[in-house]
Structure 1
């Protein structure tokens, strides 16, 4: 692998040099060649002669390039337009160029296409990227390219112009032409291709830690609750003027991300006191201001040049942040990279930002030096690094600024230790106030506080999910084995819940046997976590004295259509889903105690009907009408028995509705109607606690559903509604229409029949409704016999 370097001064001279190179290629077996262009000139018309000359002398040979803040050739400053012919001597080595325009595709889509293209070409070992300066963060690109195979190295830079404060930049290639808003990607690989990449920073932390209290994307709003700009103003006296960018470059931020220490430069200070960074900084993370220490940088350079020498590169690509030129202002711009001179032929440029994949993650850096070393085949010979002169610490007086920086760093460290101890004490006090003593989980106070925080947030991208959980049969365990058994079950439930959800969310005990989890984990992880919870419960039950079972109900704060629920609706939906889960796994137990409970429920029905003379015997009549309809449908005796029992119990939930709502003489308000609509859910809970069958609980829960899906509580539609509930819906309507109410008189049988006909397929199952109408006379006889002593209503 070789480089042949050209400096473009005029088209005629360049064409002559290319022709000589073309003859050399023919004499040497026509190796694979690709041309790379680095240019301080951004005008496409001034670059066009370069492209046209290349295509004239080397037709069909790929070329690519970018704008720069200065070009590098063999670790020295190069001409304004530098062209490198990359010569691949092994026939197995491959190269592919891709180019994208940000105006045509989203960054996420571009990243996905790059990953898919790499999958189609398993020979790829390295991905080199050239990214135009853009108003948006590079984070989406970095995260998207993390999906590339782990053995693929990624490196590159953000291209720029000689004025590093300018937003102007461009990339260009034989496959995509010229663009000022795009991304250039180069694949390298093959069985004989080897690559190694490294970075050099050299910045040391100074002063205290700052907590990122507010950020969004690449805009940093607050550090430790201060406007982000105020940190530079207060601690470094850097003003918000035209020199802010240059002054702040001397004190970039150190940021830990993906286990890597990243240097982040503030690109601009905004009127609201926020800072626009080159890439995202996560809210909740810690950052520190930093400063460059020359001796540390030179020692790092020496170490890395020695490591590179061991790799024996044939070609090196260098991406050096333009801001580092300012740091070495008393030296040549390429002062620090002279240590790599002599190792191999090198090309590169001064960039606006740098990319490097480390520990499986691609990160974008600032004020950093990235070097990619490449070769073909096994190591045959090694170049020799020139080396770097490191000042002798004994004979060199340490500058006052360096001594002051050390003093500030050490005193800040001591203050942070004191603050850390205070923070631990405060956290302990907070834990005492917000921790459940039995389980160690957060308590109801902490749960309500988090809900309040979520209620106040204005993010449109939140993905909160709430899980409400209930320990099944805790009352039975307490009554049978004592409260010690109940406590054991509660602690076991807490452990299973924390082991499942603790790393992904907040876990709370919010009541006696009630738990809650609030998480922002992705939706596709919810079912696997639920499966893990069941596995943890099963493992516990293998050796447990008391059987553990937990009902779980989930609710997302934002619906699939993007509508954000109120906190109360969010909790109510999770609670309803939890009781559905209880119903789903409910097992009936038939014994004397259970019969006593059922007798008690019959008494409750009588008590409920005694409250309101207008609805007296309503359940008995609905039971009779339901039996008649079920028999007319030709259902089995067991089904008829199930439906008639459910009909008798269908309104048991009204025992939990306030009397002033239930017996209100006038029209109900929307709020009151919402209260009434809870009675099927309340009824289902009562029956479930009394060990009625799953099928019967389902019928009671859904007897107010409509065939068209506009009923409640779940909005089930058509045959998704249990058939017993569909039967009771018509029977309930018949009795409701033909009964006198406090707010209206009884309706006629003819009117009742017309309403049923009118609502077939809407409120009622049309097949069941048709059977009712066919047996209407029998329904009328049954109705009149149930109302003994009342005149016939026509």
Structure 2
């Protein structure tokens, strides 16, 4: 495989060179050739001279080309219009050119056609893309081409013009003519054709992680719930002025997508604080600022050039982002790619964006260098090349900027951990500092004002009754289940009290768990109101997560003998009666409901798993996987202990699910799935009746929440889900997928890993998932050890059946 390069300066000299090349082709057996044109000129009238000359000298030879922000030939800046003859020397090598127009077909339809053509031509090994700048995202194209056979490599670039801020661009070919709204695709392949593609960014992460809390396409609105621009302003002191693009260019964002880091540049800062990014960034993903240190970039390119040299390419195609030219403003634009010059003849151009397929996914990159290495036939002298590379001296000296960036990155991580703990403490303090606005009832000041009014009334006005009420077990609920449980009980108590007495009296909240009703209702109606209160409490407890009980103390302002009491005596009597009622409540709970409940719950787990041999030992395995993951995350021993205990108890609520639903072999109906979805709530109810802590109950309650907010029972999203629940979600999925169930076979370990990787940021916390994937082999060793003596890991005949697993 060879390249022959021509610089188009004028028609006459170009034609003369082509005729000489045609003679060479005849002398060398007339190999298969095609012509590729890179042009900084976009005018079709001027460009027509190029392809008209090609067709005149080589009437049957196909050609294709694109506009650029600069041309590259043998790692040097090339002429305004450069033409390359791609020469295939092996008779089995093939290529095909396709051209599509966005104005005539949707991008989804175009991606579908490309897939069909590639599947029809089984010889295809590589797909090269030249994409005009368009007003829409490239996401649909990337996702559509993911369906191509996994061994097909995809690479290319978004074509542009010398003005990188302009949207002008074009592609042209012998099969589709000239268009400014098109997509050019070239298939390469054949039995003796080999290709390898790689990317180089050189950008290194710096500082803390930021969660994308709001974005739409390529408009990034919020990072960590603050305007995205504030990140650049606060951490880098970059102002929103005419130099924003060039200043921010040195600090692009690293965007975690499809399991890899993708560079995204901030093209502009908008008045509302949003950023117009170079390409889409998904909401819910994680980004980090990065920096470009020239020496590190050069070193990374040198390393990748050595790896490319091992492939022994005969031709290189280079796609270098035009924004990198701006970064290397103190050097020649091709300064950084010099190490590739000695490897093989090469052509390329400066692009608006770059495409590369990795891990089965096609991604669009920015400020990135993509290199496609091609050759025909086996590698020659590979061992000699390998030995030369291995004996080259490797420098271990890091630039000062690199060392400082590492320091900043690590200290930022430590600060994130501290801030996370502070957030938990602040939330706790906020819960403790609740006010009467929580209930909407009148507060203590209003109560004292009413008592003052009653005290000043005529002594004959004795028809007042006071009900002093206290929520039973509120302190226990706060201490055990957290103040959100206490708040729920307070709100529930306020509602039932207002429903029973609000029409005939004044309702107050005078303390954390204390309520007062003062009414002038006739004595005969008070029994009806108390009955209504009891019925309201009973009705609430039928579906409530936290059990509500209210102690009540009644006192009338006028005694049975007709003597009016003082205000203080009136209150004291109601208070004493209320505490008598509360003592009765506590004795009942202590004697009958909480004795040895932890032991009973452990028995219930064994009973539940004994009902279904397919889920036997499930809780034990999830507990072990969860402990491993928690240790991989570097959590404290107390946190690890909490998570492992919760993992062991996570499915205790299934004891309350009917067997015909739980073990149903077929697909669940929507009604049956709603029943299944109750098991975290049932489990939390069981645990909250014992001495289990609030944190553990919350983990069990939320272990089926999804990171994207589409889980259950409460649809929590992102970091609002307890970290223990996020850990168990992955551990539970691993065991579910690799276990044989009544409704499907077990999944393979490879399929399980792919599902986790695919659902990062969707079902699973991407940060935790990434750590799991990094320690996958250790986790697999534990999985195989756990299953010794139990069921074995199988390979499902229908991987799609994972979608039907009961806990979804």
Range into which the TM-score falls when normalised by the shorter chain? 0.5 to 0.7
1:418 deviates by: 1.7
Q: Does residue 169 of structure 1 match 2:331?
A: no
Deviations 1:355-412 (A, max 9, x none): 1111111111111111000001112356979999999776x9x56x666545533432
Corresponding residue for residue 340 of structure 1:
340
**C-alpha separation in 1, matches of 2:663 and 2:419:** 30
Alignment of 1:97-176 (within 5 A): 97-176=97-176
In structure 2, do the counterparts of structure 1 residues 51 and 407 end up closer, same or farther at CA, with 3 Å as the change threshold? same
When residues 346 and 443 of structure 1 are mapped into structure 2, their CA distance, relative to the original with a 3 A threshold, is farther
* Residue in 1 that maps onto 2:221: 221
Distance in 2 (CA, whole Å) between partners of 1:429 and 1:252 is 38
- 2:366 is matched with which residue? 366
How far apart are the structure 1 equivalents of 2:349 and 2:6? 15
Deviations 1:23-66 (A, max 9, x none): 11112111110100111111111111001101111112111111
SS state of the match for residue 208, structure 2? strand
After superposition, residues 584-663 of structure 1 pair within 5 angstroms as none
Note closer, same or farther for the CA distance 1:123–1:510 as it changes in structure 2 (3 Å cut). closer
**Alignment partner, residue 349 of structure 2:** 349
Gap change, CA 1:211 and 1:92, over 3 Å in 2: same
Provide the residue aligned with 2:58 in structure 1: 58
| Contact kept in structure 2, 1:90 and 1:192, CA below 8 Å | yes
2: distance between equivalents of 1:351 and 1:107?
20
Q: What is the CA distance between 1:78 and its match in structure 2?
A: 0.9
Q: 5 Å matches for 1:250-269? A: 250-269=250-269
How far is 1:230 from its partner?
A: 2.1
User: 2-side partners of 1:75 and 1:293: how far apart?
Assistant: 21
Task: Please give the alpha-carbon distance, in whole angstroms, between the structure 2 residues aligned to 1:160 and 1:498.
Answer: 59
Distance 2:219 2:709 in 1: 24
Q: Name the SS for the 2:12 alignment partner.
A: helix
The answer to whether the 8 A contact 1:299-1:390 is kept is: no
Structure 2 partner of 1:22: 22
Residue 330 of structure 1 corresponds to which residue in structure 2? 330
Q: CA distance change for structure 1 residues 286 and 149 in 2, over 3 Å: closer, same or farther?
A: same
User: Quick check: 1:237 aligned with 2:237?
Assistant: yes
Residues 137, 278 of structure 1: 8 Å contact kept = no
Q: Distance in 2 between matches of 1:521 and 1:175?
A: 48
Q: Is 1:310 matched with 2:472?
A: no
CA distance in 2, matches of 1:325, 1:80: 16
SS at match of 2:163: coil
- Give the greater-gyration-radius structure (CA): 1
Asked whether the 8 Å contact 1:444–1:511 carries over to 2, the reply is no
Q: Once the 2 structures are TM-superposed, how far is the Cα of residue 120 of structure 1 from its aligned partner?
A: 0.7
Q: Kindly indicate whether the alpha-carbon contact (under 8 Å) linking 2:255 and 2:288 is maintained by their aligned counterparts in 1.
A: yes
SS in structure 2 at match of 1:148:
coil
Residues 138 and 278 in structure 1, CA contact (< 8 A), matched pair in contact too: no
Pair 1:26–1:246, CA change in 2 (3 A): same
C-alpha distance in 1 between matches for 2:27 and 2:741: 75
SS at match of 1:255: strand
- Retained in 2: the 8 A contact 1:41–1:47? yes
Aligned counterparts of 1:292 and 1:261: Cα–Cα separation in 2: 15
Deviations 1:768-788 (A, max 9, x none): xxxxxxxxxxxxxxxxxxxxx
Equivalent residue number for residue 301 of structure 2: 301
The Cα of 1:255 is off from its aligned counterpart by: 0.9
Q: 1:404 to 1:494 in 2, by over 3 A?
A: farther
Q: Aligned-pair distance for 1:235? A: 2.1
Aligned equivalents of 1:494, 1:51: Cα separation in 2: 75
Deviation at 1:160, TM superposition (A): 1.1
- Counterpart of 2:88 in structure 1 is 88
The 2-side partners of 1:408 and 1:241 are apart by 27
* Corresponding position of 1:559: none
Equivalent-residue separation in structure 2 for 1:381 and 1:114 (angstroms): 36
Q: 1:298 touches 1:390 (CA, 8 Å); kept in 2?
A: no
Q: 1:67, CA displacement in angstroms? A: 0.9
2:289 aligned with 1:289: yes
Give the 5 Å matches for 1:426-505: 491-492=653-654
Structure-2 change in CA distance of 1:492 and 1:34 (3 Å): same
- 1:413 corresponds in structure 2 to 413
Match of 1:196 in 2: 196
Change in Cα spacing, 1:538 to 1:79, as seen in structure 2 (3 Å) is closer
CA contact (8 A) 1:136 1:218 kept: no
Q: SS of the residue aligned with 2:417?
A: helix
Normalising by the residue count of structure 1, what TM-score does the alignment of the two structures yield? 0.55
Partners of 2:663 and 2:742 within 8 A in 1: no
User: Residue 41 of structure 1: SS of its match in structure 2?
Assistant: coil
C-alpha displacement at 1:242, in angstroms? 2.8
DSSP 3-state at the match of 2:155: strand
- Aligned residue number for residue 624 of structure 2: none
Q: 1:309 to 1:405 in 2, by over 3 A?
A: closer
* Distance change in 2, residues 1:486/1:42 (3 Å): same
Change (3 A) 1:36 1:411: same
Q: 1: distance between equivalents of 2:430 and 2:256?
A: 27
Equivalent position SS for 1:178: strand
SS at match of 1:263: strand
1:390/1:202 CA distance change after superposition, 3 Å: farther
Aligned CA distance change for structure 1 residues 518 and 9 (closer, same or farther; 3 Å): same
Cα 1:418–1:35 shift into 2, 3 Å: same
**SS of 1:61's equivalent?**
coil
User: Post-superposition shift, 1:84?
Assistant: 0.3
List alignment gaps of at least 5 residues for structure 2.
Answer: 432-473, 489-542, 544-596, 609-651, 686-700, 711-732, 745-808
- CA change 1:306–1:129 in 2 (3 A) is same
The offset of 1:236, in angstroms, is: 2.0
CA distance in 1, matches of 2:97, 2:335: 32
SS of the residue 2:318 aligns to: strand
1:650-706 residue CA offsets vs partner (Å, 9 max, x unmatched): xxxxxxxxxxxxxxxxxxxxxxxxxxxxxxxxxxxxxxxxxxxxxxxxxxxxxxxxx
After TM superposition, the structure 1 stretch with the greater mean CA deviation from structure 2, 38-47 or 324-333, is: 324-333
How far, CA to CA, are the matches of 1:45 and 1:200 in structure 2? 36
Q: Note the alpha carbon deviations across 1:420-447, whole angstroms, 9 max, x for none.
A: 445677899999x9x9x99xxx99999x
What whole-Å deviation, never above 9, does each CA across 1:122-166 have from its counterpart, x for those lacking one?
110000101111222111111111100000001111111112111
CA distance in 2, matches of 1:295, 1:210: 27
Structure-1 separation of matches of 2:251 and 2:403: 16
Structure 2 Cα separation of the partners of residues 134 and 305 of structure 1: 32
Give the CA deviation at 1:326: 2.2
Instruction: Give deviations 1:272-326, integer Å, cap 9, x for gaps.
Output: 2222223221111111111112232222222211111111100000011112222
Structure 1 residue 349: Cα displacement: 0.7
Q: Distance in 2 between matches of 1:539 and 1:80?
A: 64
Distance (Å, rounded) in 1 between the aligned partners of 2:428 and 2:94: 60
2:103 and 2:92 map into 1 onto residues whose CA distance is 36
Check whether the contact 2:653–2:680 (CA below 8 A) recurs between aligned residues.
no
**Residues 498 and 507 in structure 1, CA contact (< 8 A), matched pair in contact too:** no
CA deviation after TM superposition for structure 1 residue 110, in Å: 1.1
CA 1:402–1:301 in 2, change beyond 3 Å: closer, same or farther? closer
Partners of 2:295 and 2:662 in 1: CA distance: 52
Whole-Å separation in 1 of the counterparts to 2:236 and 2:220: 18
Q: Residue deviations 1:563-591, cap 9 Å, x none?
A: xxxxxxxxxxxxxxxxxxxxxxxxxxxxx
- The offset of 1:13, in angstroms, is 0.6
Deviation at 1:114, TM superposition (A): 0.7
TM-fit CA distance, 1:327? 2.0
Q: CA RMSD in A?
A: 4.6
Deviation at 1:537, TM superposition (A): 8.2
Looking at structure 2, the residues matched to 428 and 83 of structure 1 have their Cα atoms a distance apart, in angstroms, of 68
For the 8 Å contact 1:96–1:187, the answer to whether it is kept is: yes
TM superposition shift of 1:181 = 1.7
